[in-house]
Amino acid sequence: MGNLQKIKIAILGASGYTGAELLRFLVRHPNADIVALTAEKNAGQNISAVLPHLAFENLPTLVKIDAVDFTKIDLVFCCLPHGTTQEVIAALPKNVKIVDLSADFRLANVDTYASTYGQAHKAAALQKEAVYGLTEMYREQVKKARLVANPGCYPTSAQLPLMPLLKAKLISKDDIIIDSKSGVTGAGREAKQGSLYAEVGEGIHAYGLANHRHTPEIEQGLSDAAGSAVTVNFTPHLMPMNRGILSSIYVKLAAGKTAQDLHAELEKTYKNEAFVKVLPFGTVPATRHTRGSNLCMIGVAADRISGRAIIIAAEDNLVKGASGQAVQNMNVMFGLPETAGIDAVAMFP
């Protein structure tokens, strides 16, 4: 596709946080032509009614999904809640490309999906076509894909550092501990008691202990990299901040390997990547270093316990953990420069 050719885009579920972030990037993307925005509860309203910061952009009126003429669409970004996406995507014309930001097509095994999300998969045949969109790991598959399952925010922060190390057999696939902290936007924009300011502010709490829905997704990618089943200890925590994920990862070194070996492998893997940056050995990132950007920053340090290492990964959960990576996948699918529209520098402070 030539650099001046426009991609006709529909965003389903445009009024949520991921929809808002997609619009933030796409209104300045040189190849994006946003022709349809849906929001079931706010259909008929201008974007300013739900996203006032976009009031002065030339954007279409919000409509219901069944009002969209998909024959005029090249690409659909699907930002609907899990469990509602499968039938919608299955009904789209076969020439339409899709980047799905829900969890509905991330798990290759439909039985694992059913046990994880508490309902049967409603588009099992389509699941076989889906490509997991962790761009740096599956870029060649994404290039040829019609349906890309955009990764979850926590899985992105865990898989980017761990997959290269498991593939190179530098760490044990056993005894991997992933301790993650996320901002409140990861819970979505719908009003919920647990997201109220008084419930979240001035505190931190763990949730989803031993059964968080992102665990099978993390294990799927790590098992693919290791070539055999990997089970992890993953615990997420909610932080009193809007954006960001910080994952502290504790690993056991393979025999004869050092933390410096892990750092060297990650540097080699990501040396030419625009959006994954490995910091100098012993230096660790913070969420404020990636806020608003499509970056994942990774730091490696030696543990004081012999034979172990500590890896820290930071990202913006709404950008590299969701909408930024979705646009990155769109760029790959349409043969555009991978950084197009998403090369924003992180906001500091």
d(CA 290, CA 317): 10
Q: What is the CATH number for 20?
A: 3.40.50.720
Q: CB-hemisphere CA count at 13 Å for 106?
A: 27
When divided into structural domains, the chain yields a total of 2
Beta strands (DSSP E) in 193-268 are 205-206, 232-238, 245-252
d(CA 70, CA 72): 5
Query: Are 212 and 116 part of one and the same domain?
Result: no
Q: Measure the CA dihedral 25/246/236/134, to 10°.
A: 50
d(CA 33, CA 8): 5
Nearest to 272 by CA among 334, 330, 339, 226: 339
pLDDT at site 94: 95
| 153 catalytic per annotation | yes
**Scanning the structure block, which residue is given the tokens 């030339």?**
58
pLDDT at site 255: 97
Q: What is the CATH number for 260?
A: 3.30.360.10
d(CA 274, CA 338): 8
Query: Are 242 and 210 part of one and the same domain?
Result: yes
Domain interval for residue 15 = 7-151+321-333
Q: Is residue 346 part of a domain?
A: no
Query: Are 94 and 62 part of one and the same domain?
Result: yes
pLDDT at site 193: 85
- Give the pLDDT of the chain (349 residues) as one tens digit per residue: 445 689 999 999 999 999 999 999 999 999 999 999 999 889 999 999 999 999 999 999 999 999 999 999 999 999 999 888 999 999 999 999 999 999 999 999 999 999 999 999 999 999 999 999 999 999 999 999 999 999 999 999 999 999 999 999 999 999 999 999 999 988 787 878 888 888 888 999 999 999 999 999 999 999 999 999 999 999 999 999 999 999 999 999 999 999 999 999 999 999 999 999 999 999 999 999 999 999 999 999 999 999 999 999 999 999 999 999 999 999 999 999 999 999 999 998 8
Q: Is residue 348 part of a domain?
A: no
Query: Are 188 and 232 part of one and the same domain?
Result: yes
Query: Are 215 and 307 part of one and the same domain?
Result: yes
pLDDT at site 2: 45
- Strands 245-252 and 232-238 turn out to be unpaired
Query: Are 143 and 178 part of one and the same domain?
Result: no
pLDDT at site 82: 87
Q: Is residue 279 part of a domain?
A: yes
Main-chain phi, psi angles of 285, to 5 degrees: -85, 165
Query: Are 104 and 234 part of one and the same domain?
Result: no
Query: Are 289 and 189 part of one and the same domain?
Result: yes
d(CA 153, CA 246): 10
d(CA 307, CA 149): 36
Query: Are 174 and 296 part of one and the same domain?
Result: yes
Query: Are 166 and 313 part of one and the same domain?
Result: yes
d(CA 19, CA 318): 10
Angle in degrees, 0-180, between the axes of helices 153-167 and 135-143, rounded to the nearest 10: 90
Q: Is residue 2 part of a domain?
A: no
Query: Are 34 and 50 part of one and the same domain?
Result: yes
Element (H, E) at 297: strand 296-302
Query: Are 44 and 124 part of one and the same domain?
Result: yes
